[in-house]
């Protein structure tokens, strides 16, 4: 017999609360669950997911709401439910275990543990009955329970092998390899060889945006002029921007595409994807000047400000894939629905432009996408391109407003430091490259929220904020992403407050997470609860590797403040993983960005002038619009700010806003003209 309301009912996580009425006797992660498993000699079933995950909802409906399956779970297991966004430490360890077992991963993650936490069997989604080449979940439960009791020795050996494998992942030591000038170019060429030459993106299907690897290719073009790598980037960005993975009405990107064409997405929207992609589109606009990239960046950032921002300034985590029990229902259209909003005449134009047909492209309805350019569609309709564009834009607004009357997908209102850090960075790129101060204003508000509401009395951060309070000591990538965001805020605003806060939190990060023996950073702090391993992950996954983001942030901070020890920590981190960068660059895009900073060094720009000076702003905008990588801007004030070593003594000349370009510890003559500055930076 199921339970009426389980232990998750007192949690604050929206994902855990979604399961509070399951007949499964769920426990949250904690001592109670493990103590119960030991006392009753039962294996643990660990289920990890997140609130916006479509397949998590599917498994919940099929299995966790199923009375007969729940009865098996309650009889044979202690069942733990974890929100991966609250406990990324738990998620990372056991996802590594599942990948070691099955060579694949994803969510929902389903892992079977010994009472001491050792994993011995696992997978991802299991159907309730055998199908799709997967064993039915009820059958899996019965088999695992029988093995645990009847073949205990084999189960324990499997668990021990998993522990040894996980420990090997965390015990990597430097091999003595040295960075060389050819590392990043070779990696960029290797990455470009895996790009789909028809639709862009890496590999076939499903397709993920993979912003960090695209950034490597973009930076390689800027550094070398290799147009092949630029074409890989522009093809991908064009196809994503015109595909169904992009919300053509409301802006913002869905999680990933299930096909190779970027047409049919899983419809959840993640804060981190939109942060990373907004940054990439801003940078690609700076490099190419393509108006499409500017529009997508603005629409994506505006989507976040409109739909993913709390009243106090922090950014929410996710928007669900499902509404009214159907995936994508909020986002799809029929021709009749469009005509009801814009009228029959305009509907003919809109349907032609957005590829809307009676048969549909998704379960009988239509995901809006743009398979042909405006000129081609206008020609086929026998009309001027300008008229088509005006009609489409007017109808886009009307359709978005009409869509607001639909039942919206659920939103996970957790505020996480790491993802807020990524979005702060994205917004500052919108301000720097696109010139919209509303984006830098929003970034300042978010940073103020985190510092004011998610910092503990001892100066350490909470990882997440929900229901008015912070929870869980922050993890390494929280510090890395937020410090990097604060540095970006300083770059965008010139306000020393942000770089000072970055310095304070950098000290905490180094103290809590640095591996002083081998280099790199552990994922959890030195006084964190004891887990089966203390992991140290260098790979980019859904978000960039915390080790790699930390390396970039430390290099940038060291450049600004002249603190060489921090640069040394960054270089040690990159060297630790050099063999992986050489052999498997696809998993190390962010670390390659750090390696590029070390090898080629930064380009430092000192800007001297009075706050609010229009000429100073013109120089600054010109600099960011060059798109060059590793640009570090120091705001010197009118007289040369001694707080920043490169800026010391470099002030205004002849009472004019002045720029100095510094490379390899040598600085240019003063520059006053924006065009001359751009040319100098591109040299």
Residue 1: is its pLDDT beyond 50?
Answer: no
Mean pLDDT of 606-621: 95
Angstrom distance (rounded) from CA 671 to CA 669: 6
Homologous superfamily of 14-170 in CATH?
A: Glutaredoxin (3.40.30.10)
Sign of the alpha-carbon dihedral angle for 281, 392, 307, 363: negative
Mean pLDDT of 246-274: 98
What residues form DSSP beta bridges with 274? none
What would the pLDDT profile of 20-63 be if each residue is shown by its tens digit?
Answer: 999 999 999 999 999 999 999 999 999 999 999 999 999 999 99
- Fold of the domain built from segment(s) 603-682: Glutaredoxin (3.40.30)
Dig out the tokens for 120 from the structure: 């011995």
What would the pLDDT profile of 332-389 be if each residue is shown by its tens digit?
Answer: 999 999 999 999 999 999 999 999 999 999 999 999 999 999 999 999 999 999 999 9
Specify the domain boundaries for CATH 1.10.10 within the chain. 331-404
Sign of the alpha-carbon dihedral angle for 278, 282, 283, 284: positive
Angstrom distance (rounded) from CA 372 to CA 355: 9
What residues form DSSP beta bridges with 416? 464
Residue 315: is its pLDDT beyond 50?
Answer: yes
Residue 481 CB contacts under 8 Å (≥ 6 apart), including other chains:
417, 418, 419, 420, 421, 422, 425, 543, 544, 546, 549
Q: Which residue has the higher pLDDT, 170 or 507?
A: 507
pLDDT, averaged across the chain: 96
Specify the domain boundaries for CATH 3.40.30.10 within the chain. 14-170
Q: What is the pLDDT of residue 4?
A: 61
Could you count the other beta carbons within 10 Å of the beta carbon of residue 615?
15
Secondary structure class of 507 (helix, strand, coil): helix
Mean pLDDT of 154-164: 95
Q: What is the pLDDT of residue 537?
A: 85
DSSP 8-state class, residue 659 = E
Q: What is the pLDDT of residue 131?
A: 84
What would the pLDDT profile of 435-464 be if each residue is shown by its tens digit?
Answer: 999 999 999 999 999 999 999 999 999 999
112 sits in which H/E element = strand 109-113
Specify the domain boundaries for CATH 1.50.10.10 within the chain. 182-325+411-600
Q: What is the pLDDT of residue 175?
A: 73
Could you count the other beta carbons within 10 Å of the beta carbon of residue 137?
24
Judge whether 225 and 275 are in contact, CB under 8 Å: no
Considering the segment(s) 331-404 as one domain, its CATH architecture is Orthogonal Bundle (1.10)
pTM of the model: 0.96
Nearest to 229 by CA among 214, 213, 217: 217
Which class is domain 182-325+411-600? mainly alpha
Judge whether 107 and 38 are in contact, CB under 8 Å: no
């Amino acid at each position: 017999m199921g339970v009426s309301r389980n232990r998750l009912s007192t949690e604050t996580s929206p994902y855990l609360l979604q399961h509070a009425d399951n007949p499964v006797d769920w426990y949250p992660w904690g001592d109670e669950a493990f103590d119960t498993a030991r006392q009753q000699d039962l294996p643990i079933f660990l289920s990890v997911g997140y609130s916006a995950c479509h397949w998590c909802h599917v498994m919940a409906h099929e299995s966790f709401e199923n009375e007969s399956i729940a009865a098996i779970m309650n009889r044979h297991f202690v069942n733990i439910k974890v929100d991966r966004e609250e406990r990324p430490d738990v998620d990372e360890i056991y996802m590594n275990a599942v990948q070691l077992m099955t060579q694949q991963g994803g969510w929902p993650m389903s892992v079977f543990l010994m009472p001491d936490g050792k994993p011995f069997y696992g997978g991802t989604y299991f159907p309730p009955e055998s199908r799709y080449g997967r064993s039915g979940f009820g059958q899996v439960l019965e088999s695992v329970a029988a093995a645990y009791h009847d073949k205990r020795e084999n189960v324990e050996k499997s668990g021990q092998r998993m522990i040894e494998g996980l420990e090997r992942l965390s015990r990597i030591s430097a091999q003595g390899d040295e960075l060389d000038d050819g590392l990043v170019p070779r990696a960029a060429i290797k990455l470009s060889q895996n790009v789909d030459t028809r639709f862009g993106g890496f590999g076939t299907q499903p397709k993920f945006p993979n912003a960090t690897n695209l950034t490597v290719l973009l930076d390689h073009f800027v550094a070398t002029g290799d147009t092949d790598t630029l074409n890989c980037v522009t093809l991908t960005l064009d196809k994503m921007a015109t595909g169904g993975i992009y919300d053509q009405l409301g802006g913002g990107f869905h999680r990933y595409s299930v096909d190779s064409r970027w047409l049919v997405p899983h419809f959840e929207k993640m804060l981190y994807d939109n942060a990373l992609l907004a940054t990439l589109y801003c940078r690609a606009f700076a490099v190419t000047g393509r108006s499409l990239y500017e529009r997508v960046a603005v629409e994506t950032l505006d989507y976040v400000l409109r739909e993913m921002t709390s009243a106090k300034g922090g950014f929410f985590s996710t928007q669900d894939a499902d509404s009214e029990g159907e995936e994508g229902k909020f986002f799809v259209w029929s021709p009749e629905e469009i005509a009801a909003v814009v009228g029959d005449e305009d509907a003919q134009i809109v349907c032609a432009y957005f590829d809307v047909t009676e048969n549909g492209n998704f379960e009988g309805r239509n995901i809006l996408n743009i398979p042909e350019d405006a000129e081609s569609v206008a020609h086929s309709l026998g009309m001027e391109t300008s008229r088509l564009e005006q009609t489409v834009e007017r109808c886009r607004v009307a359709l978005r407003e009409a869509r607001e009357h639909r039942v919206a997908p659920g939103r996970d209102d957790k505020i996480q430091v790491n993802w807020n850090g990524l979005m702060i960075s994205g917004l500052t790129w919108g301000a720097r490259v696109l010139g919209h101060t509303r984006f830098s204003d929003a970034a300042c508000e978010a940073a103020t929220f985190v510092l004011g509401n998610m910092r503990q009395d001892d100066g350490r951060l909470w990882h997440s904020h929900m229901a008015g309070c912070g929870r869980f000591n922050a993890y390494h990538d929280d510090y890395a992403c937020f410090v990097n965001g604060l540095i970006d805020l300083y770059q965008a605003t010139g306000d020393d407050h942000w770089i000072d806060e970055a310095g304070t939190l950098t000290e905490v990060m180094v103290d809590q997470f640095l591996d002083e023996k081998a280099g790199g950073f552990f994922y959890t702090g030195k006084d964190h609860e004891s887990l089966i391993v203390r992991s140290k992950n260098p790979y980019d996954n859904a978000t960039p590797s915390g080790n790699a983001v930390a390396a970039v942030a430390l290099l940038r901070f060291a450049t600004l403040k002249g603190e060489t020890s921090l640069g040394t920590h960054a270089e040690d981190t990159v060297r630790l993983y050099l063999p992986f960068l050489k052999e498997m660059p696809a998993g190390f895009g962010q670390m390659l960005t750090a390696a590029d900073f070390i090898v080629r060094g930064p380009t430092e720009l000192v800007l001297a002038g009075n706050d609010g000076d229009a000429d100073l702003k013109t120089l600054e905008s010109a600099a960011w619009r060059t798109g060059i990588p590793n640009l570090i801007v120091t705001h010197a004030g009118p007289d040369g700010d001694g707080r920043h070593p490169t800026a010391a003594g470099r002030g205004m000349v002849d009472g004019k806003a002045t720029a100095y370009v510094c490379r390899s510890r040598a600085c240019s003559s003063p520059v006053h003209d924006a065009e001359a500055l751009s040319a100098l930076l591109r040299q």
